[in-house]
Structure 1
Amino acid sequence: MTRGVAFAVAMLTAGALAGAFTSSARAADAPRGQIVANSNACMGCHAVDRKLVGPSFQQIATKYKGDAQAPAKLSRKVKDGGSGVWGMIPMPAHQSMSDADIRSVVDWVLAGAPSK
């Protein structure tokens, strides 16, 4: 396992643990895409407004603004993983996420990752 992949795995694990402690009251007020992102360790590598391991969700929204193909491109990227678009650290595949959950996250991200 390369250092980059090991780091990404460690960050995903940390994100999963952090997401497990989200209060149910806060989760009930959040958009569905944000809830799905929290429950699938997305926040271990991404933040709404700042770069972590990967780009912020707001950076992603800005990059793909006006791109009609963005929902399909990003859905494939979440499902299959990838690297090279935002740097050398690879994004792991999320094969176990349902297409509906992936689309919820992608739609939320492309909307600028709003909190409500």
Structure 2
Amino acid sequence: MGVTGIGGLFFRARDPDALKAWYQETLGVPAPGAWMFDQQAGPTVFAPFKADTDYFPADRQWMLNLRVEGLDELLESLRGAGVEVITSADWDSPETGRFARIHDPEGNPIELWEMPAE
């Protein structure tokens, strides 16, 4: 369970310390103060979207996509922690894998991506 990779993301937060703690406790991102972590090899997608996309909320300029392992277990843990989880069978495919969406405590959208089994 947890994050397996991203190249880097920097963003503003109303309460950076609380948000860092949430990401660590909820998704297993390294502890606050540990600014770097080694990630597993795998793809990182860089994809600007049209300004009027409905792929993520219109009031947000970005959405974080995290590669994860054990999506079902992670979703169970998130639900147990009171995090709203959104899934759709339409998002999943054997070619691209499985997806779920959540929001952090400041409303930032996060897409969880479990890559297809090899």
Which has more helix, going by share of residues?
Answer: 1
Alignment TM-score, normalising by the size of structure 2? 0.28
Which has more strand, going by share of residues?
Answer: 2
Alignment TM-score, normalising by the size of structure 1? 0.28
